[in-house]
Amino acid sequence: MNKVLKLSLVGLVLLGLGVAIGRFLTPEKVEVVKEEVVKEVEVVKKDVVYVEKKITRPDGTVEEERRVEDRTETEKRRDQESRESKIVQNAKPQWKVSGLVGTKDWTNISSPVYGISVERRIAGPIFVGAWGTTGSNVGISVGLEF
């Protein structure tokens, strides 16, 4: 292989790895929850005063005065508060199981070979796994999710 072809292949692999990591880092679901709380408070300060006045005059007459003064104060307040929260869900599957079917010889597809593959996420979009087929073939695999 010449140098340009090798550099092109390395560039394509790095580009694919960058795209896969970028897609892995995007959140699966973003949910914004807005909550508005309105609180009405009524404050009542009861202040009832009973006033009794008794005046005795020198001629012997007595004057009595009774009255009720209501100095009650009522105050109404309305507090409004709004909260906003953002929920980001980024759950990615950690395991992959695959069924395999193939053939030993492309000219004779009447004898299929069956197998299974199991992969585990190790970092970001990169998977490592193992596979095996009915023809006693086994191996390991490295995968990339994008």
Tens-digit pLDDT string for the chain (146 aa): 688 888 888 888 888 888 878 877 777 777 888 888 888 888 877 877 888 888 888 888 888 888 888 777 888 888 888 888 888 777 777 888 888 888 877 777 777 888 999 999 988 888 999 999 887 888 999 888 87
pTM: 0.42
Query: Measured between alpha carbons, how far is residue 17 from residues 8, 14, 68, 121 in Å?
Result: 14, 5, 86, 15
Beta 73-89 vs 29-45: how paired, if at all? antiparallel
Letter for the amino acid at 26? T
